[in-house]
Every structure is written in structure tokens, then in C-alpha cells.
Amino acid sequence: MVKEPRNRHLLAADLDMLLTAAVREADDLPEADVERVTDRLRALVRPAWLLVPHDGPVRTGGSRIGGRPDLPHGWDWPTGGRDGAGPAALAFLAQIDLADVPCAADAGWLPPHGRLWFFRNESGVIETEPDHVVMHADVPAGGLRPAAPPAGLDHLIDEGGCGPEPDRPQPVVLRRTLFLDDDYKYGWHSRGIEAVAAELDEHVEDGAWEFFAQVQRNLVRAALNEGEQWGGMLIGRPNPCPPPGGACPCGRSAPAHTPGYDNEDGPCSPASDSLLVLYEGWGDGPLVFTADATAPAAVHGRSSPGTEAWVY
């Protein structure tokens, strides 16, 4: 009798097939090890969506990087306060229509409906409080209006030309994939991945980290059409460590009722991890928005709690 892999329940069927194929297509791994390694990685990968630029029209409320946001009627453009100098307008970075996100509920940290707006102080010189805002609203496109920064306020964009262009919106479509590897171009890094890497190093010719990179490239390639490029990634919460009812590659396991983040050993993945990663044009970049993975998936008022924004 074949033993059921302990972590198979952690992924939806389509994502499980995607991961299995990506592992099988990676070099150097014997077929006999594919299922075992795939099961270890099931507890480490996270749902993700590639932000793929396209040449279609800029629609009201549509997902985009840069340009101007479409804010709900009655909403003000977010500002940050400066000591002794009054407020300044935060730079608009991205707008995500959650209707464009296939299986958005898999992300775990974001609302299933509505839109998200990402703003940040991009000046690099002037300090403000807050220095970034992540906002959410669930209103129809007819309840949105093209917004501009308040007249008379400094607009905190990077004068060196970094970041998105306010006058050139880039529409994007979102393609579903998984997030695995050890940097923000291809994924994340955790104690769980280090544990699997230590084991794999003895079995793959080019080393575990190159193996992980191959798996991630396979995952990305499967999500893209021929010739497409991607400029960012929306990322779901890490699985709890240990995952409810399963075993983590770090070695810990738990019954189904055990929460994943309430022990002194801490989670395999960082408690505060990425939500949105934007590439190209942020100096050393990428620009990473993070959120507290232990916080409830909720938005208080207009803003998502526990977020940070920084250039990696």
C-alpha cells in the first residue's frame, strides 16, 4: 500500500501538479526522489501571482504599476507628515484589482474582493510618518475616479528617475504560480528551505540552491505565455510551521488543531514577509512591501495593518 504524502493537503490540485512537474523537470534529481522532495517543498512554497505587463488599454480600476490611481469618491490621496514642514503626498506605486487575481483567497493575507493601492515615500531624502500606505476598498469601477496628488503639496517621487513613472501607467495581468527560492527575484528564504538544502546537497550535482532556482524557473515559465516578461509578484502568506496536520521540512510536526506561529521556536518562514515585490527601477531594488503574517487577514478602515515597505 502506497503511503499518502503528508503535505499533499497543503496545495490546491492545480498548484500541486505545477510543483510536481517543476521538480520533475529540474536537472539531476532521480525519478525515485521526485515525490519525496516535492512533498518537502509543499510545506515551503507559497501561492504567488506574476505581474505581467501588457499593451492593452488602461481601464478604470484595472491592475497597473505606476501612472495615477483610481481612488473611491471621497477618498484623499495619502500623505505623510514631516517635522515642521507639514504633509507631503506619497508616491503612487501600484494598483491591484483583486478580480484580476486568480484564486485570490489562496493568498491568505488579502481580502478576496475589491482593490489594493500601494503608496510610498520615494524621495530617498525627506522622512515622513507614515512613509508608506497600503489601502483597500471594495467598490465598483463606477465608484472610482482618477486621482491626482493634492495641489500645493510636495509629491514624494524619486527625482533620480527611480520608481514608476507617474505619467506612464503600465497595465498588468496576474498569472498564478508558486514562490519558492532564496531571493526576492525568485522567492524567499527560510529555515525550512535550509533544512531541505542540507539534505539535497548530497544528491544533486550543482547543489541544492541551483536546484531550487531551477524549480522556480520552471514554475515561472509554466505561468507565462511565450515571449512574456514579468515585472513584479504578488505573494501569499507562508504556510505555518509546523503546518496544521502536517510536517514541515524543518522537522517539526503538529496535529491539525495546533496554530503555526505560537511556539518559542518560531516559524520556519519570517513572521513578517512579502506581499508585493516590484522589480526594475528602484536602484539596488527590488521594492518589497511586507506584512505581518501572524496578523488576521483583515483591513482596518482603509489601511492594511502591520505592513512595511523597503528596497531589498
Residue 70 banded pLDDT, cuts 50, 70, 90? very high
Answer yes or no: are the C-beta atoms of 143 and 72 closer than 8 Å.
yes
CB atoms within 10 A of CB 289: 23
- Indicate if the pLDDT at residue 141 is higher than 90: yes
Per residue in 100-122, pLDDT tens? 999 888 887 777 789 999 999 88
| Predicted confidence (pLDDT) at residue 264 exceeds the cutoff of 60 | no
**CB proximity list for 48: less than 8 A, separation 6 or greater:** 176, 177, 178, 179, 233, 234, 235, 236
User: What pLDDT is recorded for position 123?
Assistant: 81
Residue 89 makes CB contacts below 8 A (sequence gap 6+) with 77, 78, 79, 149, 150, 153, 154, 155, 156
Cell numbers for 265, please give them: 521556536
More confident site: 10 or 262: 10
In whole angstroms, how large is the CA radius of gyration of the chain? 20
Q: Which residues contact 240 (CB under 8 A, 6 or more apart)?
A: 259, 260, 261, 267
Task: Identify the DSSP state of 281.
Answer: S
Can you list the alpha helix ranges (DSSP code H) found in the chain? Answer: 13-25, 31-42, 191-200, 208-223
Give the distance between the most distant pair of CA atoms in the chain. Answer: 73
Q: Is 214 or 249 the better-scoring residue by pLDDT?
A: 214
pLDDT for the residue 217: 93
Q: Closest Cα partner for 272 from 290, 257, 295?
A: 290
Confidence of residue 262 (pLDDT cuts 50, 70, 90): very low
Question: Per residue in 218-229, pLDDT tens?
Answer: 999 999 999 999
Cα–Cα distance measured from residue 268 to residue 288, given in angstroms and rounded to the nearest whole number: 20
Tell me: pLDDT of 186 over 60.
Answer: no
Eight-class DSSP state of 163? S
pLDDT band per the 50, 70, 90 thresholds, residue 267 = low
Q: Does residue 128 register a pLDDT over 80?
A: yes
Least confident of 55-59, 79-83, 136-140, 148-152: 148-152
**Residue range 132-150: mean pLDDT, rounded:** 91
**Residue count of the chain:** 312
The pLDDT assigned to 261 comes to 47
Weakest-pLDDT range from 70-74, 132-136, 202-206: 202-206
pLDDT above 70 coverage of the chain, percent: 78
For residue 89, which amino acid is it?
A
Mean pLDDT of all residues in 195-209: 85
**Cβ neighbours of residue 266 under 8 Å, at least 6 residues apart?**
none
* Cβ(215)–Cβ(29) below 8 Å: no
pLDDT band at 160 (very low <50, low <70, confident <90, very high): low
Q: What is the mean pLDDT of residues 224-239?
A: 87
User: In the chain, where do the E strands start and end?
Assistant: 46-53, 64-65, 70-72, 79-82, 86-97, 115-120, 132-137, 144-146, 155-156, 170-179, 232-235, 272-278, 287-292, 307-311
pLDDT at 288: 87
Contact 153, 170 (CB under 8 A): no
